[in-house]
């Protein structure tokens, strides 16, 4: 047996968390705990980069597969990655150290508990992207609720209890139906192993209901209109780092789930429900963009923009075209970087001025020039300016959409314009203009650790914006494989109908 | 007469009970001594049962007493949890001045009654065991006789339990009347044809058993009795009678009435759904932790019964797994409850947990784990318990039951989250005492680690349970 690299990737953060739990920090500020957490998460990042390096990008099979007996006779613990999951794993391991560095500014009490929560969260998130068994996937997918609930509830803002409950119950309600579907799949096909299920396929008569059950879970998590209302609340009340994790990675679990499970396992149902998803996605894009325009709270505005961006993602996935799906994956990675950066940027000014209301700011460019520059890059990334990652994703998604349905693509394109409108307007109100609030004048520009975290995010946003090839390379073979399987199943089923 | 070796555990415990009673009467101030002796005798009892468990199915006394895999497993978890119940409660009964010789003796007699219930293969033997455990429980519920609530709970439990025993007895006599036998196997053979008499018998017996297991709509006693009884007795109530009643449930449904599953399946499905929903909804407004755990146990019994409703070995095994995990979660929860002590006073309201996490991080973490596990959130043990049940339920295509059950877990999650919210998000209160006796600490540590680490090796219990086959 080879070295279980994926399991170590999953377990390493938990080991770090246990280490922090059982060691006492000499100083009251828990500096050493922080260094341990940072060290562990950076080690994990390097490990995942190594994984990317040794990963065979041309193969369509799952690699580094580990398969152990777990629930005897029923379910195996099976993990493995393909070109799609590897990117999400790297995104996770990349965002986590940034979160840990930014903990400085936002978390004042119970730092140790917070670090443990983040590391445990990382374990669950990597687990979601690795798992090749539905039950194992469900386990990681649901387990992530516990640390996130605590992060929002303990370290959140004023209405944190309400938001934490809403987040937890909404997501749980969506997910229990998925559990029913997973168990049904077990009894229908005799396995929950994803690879085997890809080969076996699921009978047509079950697909629609199963698809809906999975959809109920992923739609809440994505979040799609109309079940998106937990997201703005959760984002507004969560501490900065919580928002970053939520936007950058947790939302991606659902998009990943759509590609891996909805498309892969239920191609016929996915085809049947395409229009339904289109409509919901378009409403999400247009409606939430309009809502975002009217927000007075910066975090809420970015939260609504997340919903709109995820609308693009679901639209792209269900175009079932190579460009659409690749664009969606790219958009998810891009949104992971950009939204994380935006939330961190909001955190920077919130920590100094203790308000998130847009109209309390203005003219920051003359007080915080460095901040203005990085914030501009992120704004442009969010609105999809060519040269940033946001552009590549949206462009590919729209290309895929045009191939399928011109009307859908046209409406979605409106969303791009609206996106530019709310982001630029936000930027104008916060950064440009006169300084009409005298308190702002005392604000200091970026500190060292903020420069580190924010520039760590600027680099990939610009780099992959100009040169998306490495990412595209990695996903191309897997997406093609997914689509081939998809078309094959579809043709087969149509043939059997005749 | 050589058969007696097989009921050695029962004989041993009966002799211990009488012996301890004598010691208690003749030796002054021997309460603590007897408490410890009882605990030791329970350990020996456990060893004796485990010693027997390698044997195959054995019928004794004209087939009226049966020792098989089911009875052995149930007795092991029964006595095992009995030991932990005694361990955790020892300090508590001293502090609230209940350390009398009768207390451990009553617990032992009740356990004896439950063992007889579990092994019975005959209506009369079953009823004897049932009454022995009930009589001991009436007294235990009102053991704190100076306390108004405790007396009330004892009386309430007595009146309602007597009523349900009456119904049960009526059901037994109907069954006997129409099937011409009190022996379970004989009833099965004689009741191949449908007749209303036996159906009525089944209904009455199920009512009686549902009362013992506190399933809706026969749950009314549970919240008051849980709240009123001394906490150590509540813990006893929450675990041991449930184990015994569930195993009798399995026995009745799958031995004498196995042919009539079309008659009782709907009843079990209804009881199960009603318990899951009612338990989840009614617990939301509770302020007292013991009362809350009463409602929570009602809904948990709903899940355990859902497994029985499937008419499959898989379902029976899932129910048994469910109750095994349930008892560990309850042990952990009550261990935490015993730790909420300040100046010789125990606290049991939800509000008393406010801000617990700041001064007592380990205790709060245990509670966090237990509560998430009770809510059935993966990767904790409680999730696997529910998972097995729903695996069995969906195998039989009972989708309605599965979906209602899972939606009820979302409702139930709300009140568990509420406690977590109070522990972790609310402002802190006065500190509690931190010195606890070693038994309590060990119980809490073992049960919390069990819940937390269950996912590493989840097949342990399933492999043992998979030997239990009824169909």
Mutate to test the interface with B, among A183, A184, A206 (most CBs of B within 10 A): A183
pLDDT of residue B126: 92
Closest CA to B237 of B246, B224, B225: B225
Give the tens place of pLDDT for each residue, A411-430: 988 888 998 899 898 888 88
Q: Tens digits of per-residue pLDDT, A186-235?
A: 988 888 888 888 888 788 888 888 999 999 999 998 888 888 889 988 88
pLDDT exceeds 80 at position B229: yes
Summary mean pLDDT of chain A? 86
- In this prediction, residue A494 carries a pLDDT of 63
The larger pLDDT score, comparing residue A211 to residue A31, is at A211
- Asked if B394 reaches chain A (Cβ–Cβ under 8 Å), the answer is yes
Question: Closest residue of A to B425, CA-based?
Answer: A154
* More confident site: A73 or A424: A424
Q: Are the C-beta atoms of residues A360 and A353 closer than 8 Å to each other?
A: yes
- For A:137-176, CB contacts with B below 8 A are 138-139, 142-143, 145-146, 149-150, 153-154, 160-161, 164-165, 168-169, 172-173, 176
Residue A81 — φ and ψ, nearest 5°? -130, 155
Peptide bond into B217 cis (omega under 30): yes
Q: What is the pLDDT of residue A497?
A: 55
Inter-chain CB proximity B406 and A176 less than 8 Å: yes
pLDDT-above-70 percentage for chain B: 100
Which residue would you say has higher pLDDT here, A108 or A29? A108
* DSSP assignment of B255-270: TTTGGGHHHHHHHHHH
Q: Does B391 touch chain A (CB under 8 A)?
A: yes
Confidence at residue B389, expressed as pLDDT on a 0 to 100 scale = 92
Closest residue in A to B417 (Cα) is: A165
Is A72 in Cβ contact with B463 (below 8 Å)? yes
Q: What is the mean pLDDT of residues A85-100?
A: 90
Cβ separation A142–B377 shorter than 8 A: yes
Searching chain B, which residue's CA lies closest to the CA of residue A155? B425
B140-155 per-position pLDDT tens digit: 888 888 888 888 888 9
* C-beta of residue B389 within 8 angstroms of C-beta of residue B406: no
C-alpha distance from A456 to closest chain B C-alpha (Å): 33
Contact between A260 and A84 (Cβ < 8 Å): yes
Closest in A70, A146, A165 to B377, CB measured:
A146
pLDDT exceeds cutoff 90 at B80: yes
pLDDT tier at A487, thresholds 50, 70, 90: confident
B318-368: pLDDT as tens digits: 999 999 999 999 999 999 988 888 888 888 888 888 888 888 888 888 999
Over range B109-121, report the average pLDDT: 93
Task: Mark B318-347 as b/e (b = at least 16 C-beta within 10 Å).
Answer: bbbbbbbbbbbbbbbbbbbbbbbbeeeebb
Least confident of A371-375, B175-179, B188-192: B188-192
Q: What is the pLDDT of residue B83?
A: 93
For A142, which of B378, B407, B424 is closest by C-beta distance? B378
- The whole-number pLDDT of residue A28 equals 60
pLDDT of residue A27: 56
In the structure encoding, which two tokens stand for residue B368, read together? 């966090």
* N- to C-terminal Cα separation, chain B: 31
Residue B372: the pLDDT is 92
Confirm or reject contact between B383 and chain A (CB < 8 A).
yes
In sequence order, what are the residues at sequence separation of 6 or more whose Cβ sits closer than 8 angstroms to the Cβ of residue B324?
Answer: B77, B461, B465
Inter-chain touch A143–B424, beta carbons under 8 Å: no
pLDDT band for position A495 (50/70/90)?
low
Structure tokens at A264: 């892969």
pLDDT at A1 over 70: no
Nearest CA in chain A to B416: A165
Strand partners, B341: B346
B422 touches chain A (CB under 8 A): no
Q: Which residues of A touch B383 (CB under 8 A)?
A: 139, 142
pLDDT given at position A496 = 61
Could you tell me if residue B72 is left (phi over 0), alpha (psi between -120 and 50 degrees) or otherwise beta? alpha
Rounded to a whole number, what is the distance in Å from the CA of A84 to chain B's nearest CA? 25
- Cβ–Cβ contact A432 with B under 8 A: no
Q: Using one digit for the tens of pLDDT, what is the confidence trace for B19-40?
A: 999 998 888 888 888 888 899 9
Residue B2: per-residue pLDDT: 60
Is A65 part of the contact surface with chain B (CB cutoff 8 Å)?
Answer: no
Residue written as tokens 């409108």?
A421
Q: Pick the residue from chain A with its C-alpha nearest to B358.
A: A110
Query: Using CB atoms, which residue from B391, B407, B421 is nearest to A176?
Result: B407
């Amino acid at each position: 047996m080879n070295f279980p690299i994926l399991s170590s990737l999953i377990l390493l953060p938990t080991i770090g968390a246990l280490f922090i739990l059982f060691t006492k920090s000499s100083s009251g500020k828990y500096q050493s705990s922080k260094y341990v957490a940072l060290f562990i998460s950076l080690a994990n990042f390097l490990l995942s980069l190594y994984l990317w390096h040794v990963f065979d990008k041309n193969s369509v099979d799952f690699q580094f597969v580990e398969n152990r007996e777990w629930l005897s006779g029923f379910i195996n613990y099976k993990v493995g990655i393909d070109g799609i999951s590897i990117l999400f794993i790297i995104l996770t391991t990349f965002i986590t150290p940034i979160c840990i560095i930014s903990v400085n500014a936002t978390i004042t009490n119970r730092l140790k508990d917070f670090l443990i929560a983040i590391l445990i969260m990382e374990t669950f998130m990597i687990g979601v992207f690795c798992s090749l068994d539905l039950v194992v996937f469900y386990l990681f997918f649901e387990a992530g609720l516990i640390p996130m609930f605590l992060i929002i509830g303990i370290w959140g803002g004023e209405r944190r209890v309400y938001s934490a409950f809403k987040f937890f119950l909404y997501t749980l309600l969506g997910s229990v139906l998925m559990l029913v579907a997973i168990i049904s799949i077990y009894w229908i096909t005799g396995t929950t192993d994803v690879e085997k299920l890809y080969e076996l396929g699921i009978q047509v008569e079950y697909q629609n209901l199963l698809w809906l059950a999975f959809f109920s879970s992923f739609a809440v998590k994505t979040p799609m209109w109309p079940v998106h209302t937990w997201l703005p609340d959760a984002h507004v009340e969560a501490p900065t780092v919580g928002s970053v994790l939520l936007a950058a990675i947790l939302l991606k679990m659902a998009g990943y789930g759509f590609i891996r499970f909805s498309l892969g396992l239920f191609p016929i149902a996915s085809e049947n429900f395409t229009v339904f998803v289109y409509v919901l996605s378009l409403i999400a894009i247009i409606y939430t963009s309009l809502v975002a325009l009217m927000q007075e709270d910066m975090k809420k505005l970015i939260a609504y923009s997340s919903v709109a961006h995820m609308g693009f993602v679901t639209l792209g996935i269900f175009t079932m075209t190579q460009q659409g799906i690749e664009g969606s994956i790219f958009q998810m990675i891009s949104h992971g970087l950009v939204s994380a950066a935006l939330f961190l940027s909001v955190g920077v000014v919130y920590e100094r001025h203790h308000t998130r209301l847009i109209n309390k700011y203005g003219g920051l460019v003359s007080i915080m020039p460095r901040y203005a520059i990085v914030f501009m890059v992120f704004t442009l990334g969010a609105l999809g300016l060519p040269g940033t990652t946001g552009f590549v994703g949206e462009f590919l998604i729209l290309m895929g959409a045009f191939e399928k349905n011109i009307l859908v693509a046209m409406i979605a394109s409106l969303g791009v314009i609206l996106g530019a409108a709310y982001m630029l307007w936000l930027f104008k109100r916060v950064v440009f203009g006169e300084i009409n609030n005298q308190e702002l004048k005392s604000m200091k520009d970026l500190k060292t650790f903020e420069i580190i975290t924010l520039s760590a995010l600027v680099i990939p946003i610009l780099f992959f914006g100009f040169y998306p090839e490495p990412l595209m390379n990695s996903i191309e073979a897997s997406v093609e494989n997914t689509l081939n399987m998809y078309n094959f199943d579809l043709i087969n089923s149509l043939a059997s109908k005749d | 007469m050589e058969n007696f070796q097989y009921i050695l555990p029962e004989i041993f415990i009966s002799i211990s009970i009488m012996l301890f009673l004598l010691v208690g009467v003749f030796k002054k101030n021997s309460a603590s001594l007897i408490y410890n002796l009882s605990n030791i005798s329970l350990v020996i009892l456990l060893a004796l049962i485990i010693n027997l468990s390698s044997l195959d199915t054995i019928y004794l006394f004209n087939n009226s007493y049966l020792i098989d895999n089911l009875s052995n497993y149930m007795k092991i978890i029964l006595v095992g949890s009995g030991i932990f119940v005694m361990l955790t409660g020892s300090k508590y009964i001293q502090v609230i001045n209940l350390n009398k010789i009768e207390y451990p003796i009553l617990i032992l007699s009740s356990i004896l009654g439950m063992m007889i219930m579990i092994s019975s293969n005959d209506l009369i033997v079953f009823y004897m065991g049932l009454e022995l455990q009930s009589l001991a429980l009436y007294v235990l519920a009102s053991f704190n006789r100076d306390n108004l609530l405790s007396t009330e709970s004892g009386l309430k439990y007595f009146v309602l339990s007597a009523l349900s025993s009456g119904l049960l007895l009526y059901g037994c006599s109907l069954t006997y009347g129409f099937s011409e036998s009190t022996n379970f196997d004989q009833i099965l053979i004689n009741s191949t044809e449908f007749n209303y008499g036996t159906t009525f018998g089944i209904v009455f017996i199920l009512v009686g058993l549902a009362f013992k297991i506190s399933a809706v709509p026969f749950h009314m006693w549970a919240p008051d009795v849980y709240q009123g009884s001394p906490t150590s007795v509540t813990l006893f109530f929450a675990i041991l009678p449930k184990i015994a009643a569930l195993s009798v449930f399995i026995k009745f449904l799958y031995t004498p009435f196995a042919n009539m599953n079309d008659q009782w399946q709907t009843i079990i499905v209804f009881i199960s759904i009603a318990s899951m929903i009612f338990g989840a909804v009614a617990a939301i407004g509770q302020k007292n932790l013991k009362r809350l755990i009463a409602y929570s146990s009602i809904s948990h019994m709903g899940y355990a019964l859902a497994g029985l409703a499937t008419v499959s070995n898989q379902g029976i095994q899932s129910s048994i797994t469910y109750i095994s995990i349930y008892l560990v979660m309850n042990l952990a929860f009550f261990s935490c409850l015993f730790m909420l002590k300040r100046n010789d006073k125990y606290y049991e309201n939800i509000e008393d947990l406010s801000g617990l996490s700041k001064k007592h991080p380990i205790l709060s973490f245990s509670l966090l784990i237990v509560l998430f596990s009770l809510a059935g959130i993966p990767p904790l043990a409680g999730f696997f318990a529910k998972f097995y049940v729903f695996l069995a339920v969906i195998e039989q295509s009972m989708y309605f039951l599965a979906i209602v059950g899972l939606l009820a877990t979302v409702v139930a999650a709300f009140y568990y989250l509420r406690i977590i919210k109070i522990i972790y998000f609310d402002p802190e209160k006065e500190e509690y005492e931190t010195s606890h006796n070693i038994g309590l600490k060990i119980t809490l540590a073992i049960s919390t680690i069990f819940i937390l680490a269950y996912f590493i090796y989840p097949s342990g219990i399933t492999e043992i349970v998979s030997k239990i086959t009824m169909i």
